[in-house]
């Protein structure tokens, strides 16, 4: 059928001069392959943004756009959108040699050691001094540097910190403080290692530019290097490192007598010019031309490695860049007349943290609230067969339209996937509420390796990606669709955050109503076991356990549900679109007469006990004997106690008695003293919102608590059910306020779920234990 049609068109073209318009040029994978070859050639020096290679890449693309007569969409009628980036680079020729008394050894960069960001430069030989944790807090009676002079030497310390020290020393245990201490005390550099057995190869220190000193080097090393430093040292000292992990005791400072030869030439430039390349085809419709469909990918890569390897980045991401270019070329050539404006974007600075796409999303030239969708391509030249299309959970309306309109032969190889933020340039779009899609083909082999070259690119993958995205753009740019639903951005955050539904329904009902859940915005549902009237003691317990077991069986059978076991399994199940259920007790009658039962119930799989009116825990003297017994039972069992309706003095009594964190729920904030105590006891406060709560007033209270002691101890607790429209709408209004107040990722995550999960873990006695490092 297609052959006949094209023959027909060809004959038209031959015989009628006006029919030239009809003949469409298809996506040419060979042409795209040529762009990749050019972009991923050695002469482009790895296309790192902020460097000549990055600029060459941008110029190459812009000159093609000009040649193809695409409209410029950058600054002042050019193809370039200018901005500055923070530029860091390690020059070729790094060296680390450890010189012991009887042996010396060179270590491989990238394998055995790395230069951390914000390291300065150095070319020196210096003695190595072991400093334990590297914590310098004499004002708190802790100083790992006591009795040793590190001036002109290089210090070695572990990046991990026992909880005990963290608690006692607070900010002084932060990595930036440790680096600052080494700098202040005159060391020339720091070598960092991890106690845990896992490799630190991809480990990145969270340092800030304030720690950058031009002549202070910051390196991280694998255990291999530590082993070599320590291999000839006396027994007592050899055991001091494992002892740090095991007993969390103070390590001994040690002048090793071993030396290091370090050669690092690091560059840090706070402001370097960089630019995105932008072209467009302006929409043909009077009104719709002010709406935008964006396709893009990052053009930058990693430059030249400190070992001198040119990182060509053919798949990452000359491939995505080439597909964007080729789609632009054929749309122009075919005289495409999309109703909306189509923007072709090649981003700079992706590898340094999505800098180019962030700049575009923050810029108002092409407003985000007028942007229909963004399709990102990053690594589309490897793999075989299918093309995963990530992001349908966040842009269901867009995907619905595409599914209706795309030809079957394309739909056959496109695999819709949930998607979400992270990893590439679709992220800044999602965060502004724009449906952000991400195409990355399977088999990202040679990722961030010097062997990511153009000879490994598969033209058939470029072709499939190109045909799909080209067809998708044409649809999105001209069809009508439900592109701008109200509260688009809020809805993204509702979906993206791990959302707990605190509405404590009965477990059996939750299972019954939601067993077919799929991609719900409710990620974790708290549910309770009902205490049947007239039952007490063993009768009540047996009834509860029976109900729990039968509900558990139902959960296991239900496709859309899973039962809570850990925060990591929660994350995994969310990614699969499931809702996780966590059950607890409504009241404490099931163990009030016999506290040992608390433990049994926890072992069976219950996580919390909700106490609405805790007056029975108190008498005139304060906490009653029974109250104390119950707190003890709760502590021993690992149950998390959610307490509602206590006043300030009662909360204080409970906090003082409990050895483990508690969670207090209330509609109004506790006084300052209680807030401080909640923080001190690592407990949590859940601010309750009811149906009639004013979202703005509610948020203001949240914010007041945040300002007082931080979000680490704060939870949003809903009374209206979040599955229903009313609860959802209410939550969206609160999210509006959270966005306005620019809460960062950590704050948002805390108030939605992280604080709750942390308190739960602590109540259960789970701690992130440091795995002992055994170097010998
Ligand atoms: Zn990439």
Other beta carbons within 10 angstroms of residue 491's beta carbon come to 17
- Predicted TM-score (pTM) of the model is 0.88
Q: In the prediction, which pLDDT does 239 show? A: 63
> Could you tell me the distance, in angstroms and rounded to a whole number, from the CA of residue 343 to the centre of ligand 1?
20
> Could you tell me the distance, in angstroms and rounded to a whole number, from the CA of residue 48 to the centre of ligand 1?
12
597 vs 201 pLDDT, higher one: 597
> Could you tell me the distance, in angstroms and rounded to a whole number, from the CA of residue 298 to the centre of ligand 1?
7
> Could you tell me the distance, in angstroms and rounded to a whole number, from the CA of residue 319 to the centre of ligand 1?
10
> Could you tell me the distance, in angstroms and rounded to a whole number, from the CA of residue 620 to the centre of ligand 1?
66
Three-state SS string over 210-226 comes to: HHCCCCCEEEEECHHHH
> Could you tell me the distance, in angstroms and rounded to a whole number, from the CA of residue 320 to the centre of ligand 1?
9
> Could you tell me the distance, in angstroms and rounded to a whole number, from the CA of residue 340 to the centre of ligand 1?
28
CA dihedral sign, ordered 60, 65, 71, 73: negative
Q: In the prediction, which pLDDT does 250 show? A: 52
> Could you tell me the distance, in angstroms and rounded to a whole number, from the CA of residue 459 to the centre of ligand 1?
18
Q: In the prediction, which pLDDT does 448 show? A: 85
- Contacts of residue 762, defined as CB under 8 A and 6 or more positions apart, other chains included, come to 660, 661, 682
Burial of 772 (0-12, 13-18, 19+ CB in 10 A): middle
Structure confidence at residue 6 as a pLDDT band (50, 70, 90): very low
Distance CA 599, CA 606 (A): 10
Q: In the prediction, which pLDDT does 316 show? A: 95
Residue 770 pLDDT greater than 60, yes or no: no
Other beta carbons within 10 angstroms of residue 335's beta carbon come to 10
**Please, what is the average pLDDT of the chain?**
91
> Could you tell me the distance, in angstroms and rounded to a whole number, from the CA of residue 358 to the centre of ligand 1?
15
> Could you tell me the distance, in angstroms and rounded to a whole number, from the CA of residue 314 to the centre of ligand 1?
10
Residue 240 pLDDT greater than 80, yes or no: no
Structure confidence at residue 7 as a pLDDT band (50, 70, 90): very low
Q: In the prediction, which pLDDT does 510 show? A: 94
> Could you tell me the distance, in angstroms and rounded to a whole number, from the CA of residue 379 to the centre of ligand 1?
6
Q: DSSP of 6-42, one letter per residue?
A: HHHHHHHHHH-GGGGGGPPPPP-HHHHHHHHHHHTSG
Other beta carbons within 10 angstroms of residue 113's beta carbon come to 24
Residue 200 pLDDT greater than 70, yes or no: no
> Could you tell me the distance, in angstroms and rounded to a whole number, from the CA of residue 90 to the centre of ligand 1?
20
> Could you tell me the distance, in angstroms and rounded to a whole number, from the CA of residue 682 to the centre of ligand 1?
40
> Could you tell me the distance, in angstroms and rounded to a whole number, from the CA of residue 451 to the centre of ligand 1?
15
Q: In the prediction, which pLDDT does 17 show? A: 47
Nearest 5°: phi and psi at 235?
A: -55, -50
> Could you tell me the distance, in angstroms and rounded to a whole number, from the CA of residue 346 to the centre of ligand 1?
12
> Could you tell me the distance, in angstroms and rounded to a whole number, from the CA of residue 100 to the centre of ligand 1?
41
Structure confidence at residue 8 as a pLDDT band (50, 70, 90): very low
> Could you tell me the distance, in angstroms and rounded to a whole number, from the CA of residue 628 to the centre of ligand 1?
57
> Could you tell me the distance, in angstroms and rounded to a whole number, from the CA of residue 591 to the centre of ligand 1?
55
Other beta carbons within 10 angstroms of residue 681's beta carbon come to 18
Structure confidence at residue 419 as a pLDDT band (50, 70, 90): very high
Distance CA 481, CA 464 (A): 25
> Could you tell me the distance, in angstroms and rounded to a whole number, from the CA of residue 739 to the centre of ligand 1?
28
Count the alpha carbons within 13 Å of 303 in the hemisphere toward its beta carbon: 21
> Could you tell me the distance, in angstroms and rounded to a whole number, from the CA of residue 267 to the centre of ligand 1?
23
> Could you tell me the distance, in angstroms and rounded to a whole number, from the CA of residue 479 to the centre of ligand 1?
30
Burial of 32 (0-12, 13-18, 19+ CB in 10 A): buried
pLDDT in tens, 421-432: 988 999 999 999
Nearest 5°: phi and psi at 395?
A: -135, 60
Beta bridge partners of 278: 345
pLDDT in tens, 255-293: 788 999 999 999 999 999 999 999 999 999 999 999 999
H or E, element range at 347: strand 341-347
> Could you tell me the distance, in angstroms and rounded to a whole number, from the CA of residue 448 to the centre of ligand 1?
9
Say which DSSP state 422 is in.
S
Residue 21 pLDDT greater than 80, yes or no: no
Say which DSSP state 767 is in.
-
Percent of the chain with pLDDT over 90: 79
Q: In the prediction, which pLDDT does 751 show? A: 97
Instruction: Give the residue-averaged pLDDT of 99-112.
Output: 91
> Could you tell me the distance, in angstroms and rounded to a whole number, from the CA of residue 200 to the centre of ligand 1?
22
Structure confidence at residue 403 as a pLDDT band (50, 70, 90): very high
Burial of 68 (0-12, 13-18, 19+ CB in 10 A): middle
Residue 311 pLDDT greater than 90, yes or no: yes
SS3 content of the chain, % helix, strand, coil (to 5): 40, 20, 35
Residue 69 pLDDT greater than 50, yes or no: yes
């Amino acid at each position: 059928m297609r052959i006949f049609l094209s023959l027909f068109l060809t004959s038209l073209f031959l015989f009628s001069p006006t029919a030239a318009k009809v003949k469409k040029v298809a996506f040419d994978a060979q042409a795209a392959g040529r762009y990749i070859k050019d972009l991923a050639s050695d002469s482009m020096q790895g296309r790192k943004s902020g460097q000549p290679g990055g600029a060459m890449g941008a110029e190459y693309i812009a000159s093609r756009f000009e040649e193809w007569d695409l409209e410029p969409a950058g600054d002042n009628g050019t193809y370039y959108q200018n901005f500055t980036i923070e530029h860091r680079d390690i020059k070729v020729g790094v060296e680390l040699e450890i010189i012991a008394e009887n042996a010396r050894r060179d270590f491989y960069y990238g394998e055995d050691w790395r230069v951390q960001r914000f390291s300065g430069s150095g070319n020196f030989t210096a003695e190595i001094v072991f400093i334990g944790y590297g914590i310098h807090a004499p004002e708190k009676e802790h100083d790992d540097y006591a009795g040793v002079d590190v001036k002109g030497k290089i210090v070695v310390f572990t990046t991990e910190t026992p909880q005990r020290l963290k608690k006692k020393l607070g900010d002084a245990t932060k990595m930036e403080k440790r680096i600052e201490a080494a700098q202040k005390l005159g060391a020339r550099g720091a070598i960092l290692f991890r106690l845990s057995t896992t490799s630190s190869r991809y480990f990145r220190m969270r340092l800030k530019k304030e720690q950058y000193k031009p002549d202070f080097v910051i390196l991280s090393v694998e255990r291999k290097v530590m082993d070599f430093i320590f291999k000839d040292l006396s027994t007592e000292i050899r055991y001091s490192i494992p002892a740090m992990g095991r007993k969390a005791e103070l390590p001994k400072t040690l002048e090793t007598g071993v030396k290091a030869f370090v050669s690092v030439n690091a560059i840090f430039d706070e402001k370097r010019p960089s630019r995105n390349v932008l072209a467009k085809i302006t929409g043909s419709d009077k009104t719709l031309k002010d709406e935008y469909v964006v396709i893009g990918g990052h053009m930058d890569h990693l430059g030249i490695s400190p070992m001198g390897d040119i990182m060509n980045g053919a798949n990452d991401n000359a491939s995505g860049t080439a597909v964007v270019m080729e789609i632009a070329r054929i749309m122009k050539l075919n005289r495409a007349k999309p109703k909306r404006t189509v923007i072709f974007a090649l981003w700079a600075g992706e590898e340094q943290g999505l800098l180019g796409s962030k700049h575009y999303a923050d810029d108002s030239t092409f407003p985000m609230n007028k942007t229909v969708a963004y399709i990102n391509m990053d690594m589309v030249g490897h793999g075989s067969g299918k093309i995963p299309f990530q992001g349908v959970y966040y842009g269901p309306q867009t995907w619905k339209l595409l599914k209706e309109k795309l030809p079957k032969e394309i739909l056959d190889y496109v695999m819709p996937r949930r998607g979400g933020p992270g990893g590439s340039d679709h992220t800044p779009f999602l965060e502004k509420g724009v449906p952000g899609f991400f195409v990355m083909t399977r088999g990202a082999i040679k990722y961030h390796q010097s062997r990511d070259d153009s000879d490994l690119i598969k033209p058939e993958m470029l072709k499939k990606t190109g045909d799909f995205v080209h067809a998708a753009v044409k649809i999105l740019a001209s069809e009508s669709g439900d592109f701008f639903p109200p509260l688009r951005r809020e809805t993204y955050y509702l979906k993206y955050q791990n959302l707990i539904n605190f509405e404590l329904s009965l477990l059996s009902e939750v299972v019954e109503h939601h067993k077919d859940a799929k991609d719900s915005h409710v990620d974790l549902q708290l549910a309770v076991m009902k205490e049947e009237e007239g039952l007490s003691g063993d009768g009540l317990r047996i009834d509860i356990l029976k109900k729990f077991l039968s509900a558990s069986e139902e959960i296991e059978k239900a496709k859309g549900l899973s039962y809570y076991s850990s925060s990591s399994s929660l994350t995994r199940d969310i990614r699969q679109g499931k809702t996780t259920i966590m059950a607890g007790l409504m009241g404490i009658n099931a163990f009030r007469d016999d506290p040992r039962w608390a433990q049994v119930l926890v072992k069976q799989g219950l996580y919390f006990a909700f106490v609405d009116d805790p007056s029975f825990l108190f008498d005139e003297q304060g906490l009653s004997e029974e109250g104390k017994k119950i707190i003890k039972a709760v502590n021993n069992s690992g149950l998390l106690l959610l307490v509602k309706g206590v006043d300030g003095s009662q909360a204080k009594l409970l906090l003082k008695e409990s050895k483990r964190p508690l969670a207090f729920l209330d509609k109004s904030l506790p006084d300052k003293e209680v807030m401080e105590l909640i923080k001190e006891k690592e407990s949590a406060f859940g601010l309750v919102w009811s149906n009639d709560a004013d979202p703005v007033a509610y948020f203001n209270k949240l914010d007041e608590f945040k300002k007082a002691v931080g979000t680490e101890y704060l939870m949003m607790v809903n009374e209206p059910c979040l599955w229903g429209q009313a609860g959802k709408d209410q939550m969206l209004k609160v999210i509006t306020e959270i966005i306005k107040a620019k809460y960062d990722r950590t704050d948002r995550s805390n108030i939605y779920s992280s604080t709750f999960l942390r308190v739960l873990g602590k109540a259960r006695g789970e701690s992130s234990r440091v795995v002992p490092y055994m170097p010998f």
